[in-house]
Amino acid sequence: MKKTFSVFLLLFFCSVNAQQLNCTVQINTDKVATTNNQIFKNLQVAISDFVNKTDFTGEALKQHEKISCSMVIIINSFENNNFSASIQVQSNRPVFNSTYSTPVFNFNDNDFSFRYTEFENLIFNPATFESNLVSMLSFYSYIILGLDADTYKLNGGRDWLDLALQIQTAAQQGGYRGWSQSDGNQNRFFLINDILSGTFQPFRDALYAYHRNGLDIMTEDIKIAKENIIGAVEILSSIYSSRPNAFLTRVFFDAKSDEIVSVLSGGPNMDIRTFVDKLNRISPVNSSKWTTIRL
């Protein structure tokens, strides 16, 4: 309790000039027939300002230190300031001693309904439900922050993930889909609860091992880095024995499948046939990608 309280003190009394995300926001209105496109332009500006100018953690970062991410919102319908949409959230982090940026999170959420009045202020308050738009943006911002921190330090994103959980809990009172256990088995409720569950700790262990022990040492020793990346996926695969269709396994590979193919196909040569067989078992949805790995 004291830890949570200290986090809130940090959030509300830190400098208002501190921001942590460098987020590109795009709104797609191809599915909507309307003569008033200005409201969508203003919505895009409002979302971009909220995500990029809100101080989520109290950490003052230089521009190049901010987390690179994107939010692509596809509007499905719009009537009387009520929007039905989907949102694709992606984040990346730089790899040490290189110009390469690696994907950390890549998630599509189809349950994004919200009400927005043009020019309204989006007010950030993680403790209460203000609007579904604010809750969605805040929730995914903390998911981005938490998972990014987990790639640098084992369980390093705990504080931010705890706040994502608090937002998810508070948002249930709004009655919007995606926040509750009853709304499906691959939604925001399960995303944050599974991430913080001890049952799925291998997901966070794998994130850390994959990045810090794998990608980050690529410039020092490619072979060891490649072995460690394989080892990180092996850590993740331990979930398979008890949860063969685990949601977080899909979340991991949605971000990493293309990169894993690239890493495994590159030199130095290693006998990875057994490992590729394991990839096919734990992530069969990506089997077409695994077949392209050069053995």
* pLDDT in 10s for each residue of the chain, 295 residues: 444 444 444 444 333 456 899 999 999 999 998 778 899 999 999 999 999 999 999 988 888 899 999 999 999 999 999 999 999 999 999 999 999 999 999 999 999 999 999 999 999 988 899 999 999 999 999 999 999 999 999 999 999 999 999 999 999 999 999 999 999 999 999 999 999 999 999 999 999 999 999 999 999 999 999 999 999 999 999 999 889 999 999 999 999 999 999 999 988 888 999 999 999 999 999 999 999 998 7
* pLDDT at residue number 34: 78
* Amino acid in the structure at residue 74: I
> How many other C-beta atoms are found inside a 10 Å radius of the C-beta of residue 259?
15
Q: What are the pLDDT digits (tens) for 169-202?
A: 999 999 999 999 999 999 999 999 999 999 999 9
Q: What pLDDT, in 10s, does the model give residues 241-282?
A: 889 999 999 999 999 999 999 999 988 888 999 999 999 999
The region, left, alpha or beta by phi > 0 then psi within -120 to 50, assigned to residue 51 is: alpha
- b/e map 151-176, b = 16+ CB within 10 Å: beeeebbbbbbbbbbbbbebbbeeeb
Question: What would the DSSP string read from start to end of 62-131?
Answer: -GGGSEEEEEEEEEEEEETTEEEEEEEEEEEEEPTTSS-EEEEEEEEEEEEEEE--TT------TTS---
d(C-alpha 165, C-alpha 192), whole Å: 6
What is the distance, to the nearest Å, from the Cα of residue 271 to the centroid of all Cα atoms in its chain? 32
Non-local CB neighbours of 141 within 8 Å, separated by 6+ positions: 21, 51, 54, 56
Which H or E run contains 155?
none
Region of 259 on the Ramachandran plot (φ > 0 left; ψ -120 to 50 alpha; else beta): alpha
The residue assigned the tokens 């797609």 is: 28
Cα 46 to chain centroid, rounded: 21
In this predicted structure, what is the pLDDT of residue 5? 43
